[in-house]
Amino acid sequence: MKKLVAGVLGSLMVCLSLVSPVQADVRKDTLALQENHPKTYTVVKGDTLWDISGMFLKSPWKWPQLWGYNQQIDNPHLIYPGDVLTLKWVDGQPRLVVNDGILRLSPRAKVSPLKDAIPAIPLKDIISFLSDNIVLDSDELTSAPYIVGSVDNRIVAGAGDRVYARGELVADHSRQNIYRPAREYVDPESGESLGYELFKIGEGVIHARAEDIITLDLRKTREEIGSLDRVYPTQTEEIQSIFYPSAAQDEINGKILSVLRGVRQAGQYDVVAISQGAREGLESGHVLTIFKTGERLKDPVTKELIILPSEKSGQMMVFKAYDKVSYALILNATNIISVGDEVRNPQ
């Protein structure tokens, strides 16, 4: 795990590398510097690699293959609060180096916990969506076991109660989650059903099984458990919390389907669902540009209805991709972002 964290943060730090003005004229994939980028920057608690990259680069999700080598730390891919980033020229190329890139001899190595390293994005804004929300297609939803009742024939149940479900378990794990269907996602253009969103309302442990009847003891509940709530296995894999920002290889033309906190408008660090997924080539870490859908106006001369051009209004990063739907975190917003706005490949 330590190697994984170091490696991915290394890739993210590469985005702080810069290219010379001469190269910018001849290469289409060069990075543009912010006009007011600082010469040095001291990392503080609460920073993210995305935010720091954005101080130096107009497209913080881009990076070249190499960045300045820093001899004074064992792993140059991790930065911590208090580290000083300095813009320097190395072999004719600008580089960001940590703590001046000076080799400091010491009888003891400086040890910093990995958990104190600066994260790529604000994980606190997505951690619940990584573990508590899932999207299932119609067949997966209808085939998942459902709650039929509880002890003493009570209508609802909570933590400490025993409930019964009926159906075939997706995975034969002792720990199961209880989910409640929230909404169906439908493609606004084609009308295709993209899947059903479910949110976790409880956790249970299997007590017994008899044919297709499953007995569950509830351990934790956020809401009262009732009939027709669905049983789905607890994730056994570690929740992904490290991301590689990059551009999707395939053409993406989607729409914002919902803002996951339940409103229709969103801003920076809000989570949204979009109408593209793994089927279209999206993966965790893919960065997309958001465009405000153009308004409809009536031409005052011809009286015909016209649609104004869409305008760029922000950037987002996919952190969880299902087959036809993805969850994404809005990383910056220059305008109010609404359900129905367009998402495309970054320019």
Residue 102 belongs to domain spanning:
2-120
Q: Is residue 125 part of a domain?
A: no
pLDDT at position 186: 97
Instruction: Give pTM, 2 decimals.
Output: 0.77
Give residue 100's identity as a one-letter amino acid code.
Answer: D
Dist. CA 215–CA 222, nearest whole Å: 20
Mean pLDDT by 10 residues, the chain (347 residues): 41 39 39 79 84 78 46 53 78 68 46 60 80 92 94 85 94 91 94 96 94 94 93 70 79 94 85 96 93 86 87 93 96 92 92
Say yes or no: 271 and 193 in one domain: no
Say yes or no: 276 and 225 in one domain: no
Say yes or no: 157 and 90 in one domain: no
Say yes or no: 225 and 294 in one domain: no
- Say how far residue 92 (Cα) sits from the centre of its chain: 36
* Count of alpha carbons within 13 angstroms of residue 339, beta-carbon side: 13
Say yes or no: 19 and 112 in one domain: yes
Say yes or no: 67 and 94 in one domain: yes
Q: Is residue 238 part of a domain?
A: no
Q: Which of 76, 95, 120 is the last residue of a domain?
A: 120
Q: Are 196 and 181 in contact (CB under 8 A)?
A: yes
Residue 22: in which H helix or E strand, if any? helix 21-26
Say yes or no: 31 and 105 in one domain: yes
Q: Which of 120, 147, 172 is the last residue of a domain?
A: 120
What is the DSSP code string of 71-117?
TTSS-TT---TT-EEEEEEETTEEEEEEGGG-----SS-----GGGS
Can you say whether the dihedral through the CA atoms of 214, 217, 218, 219 is positive or negative? negative
Dist. CA 146–CA 157, nearest whole Å: 14
pLDDT at position 294: 81
Task: Report the number of distinct structural domains present in the chain.
Answer: 3
Say yes or no: 24 and 116 in one domain: yes
pLDDT in tens, 232-255: 987 655 556 667 788 888 999 999
pLDDT in tens, 73-95: 344 456 788 888 877 766 666 56
pLDDT at position 24: 35
Indicate which CATH number applies to the domain containing 278: 2.40.10
Say yes or no: 271 and 201 in one domain: no
Q: Is residue 130 part of a domain?
A: no
Q: Is residue 145 part of a domain?
A: yes
Say yes or no: 111 and 70 in one domain: yes
Q: Is residue 131 part of a domain?
A: no
Dist. CA 9–CA 16, nearest whole Å: 12
Q: Is residue 294 part of a domain?
A: yes
Say yes or no: 116 and 141 in one domain: no
pLDDT at position 89: 67
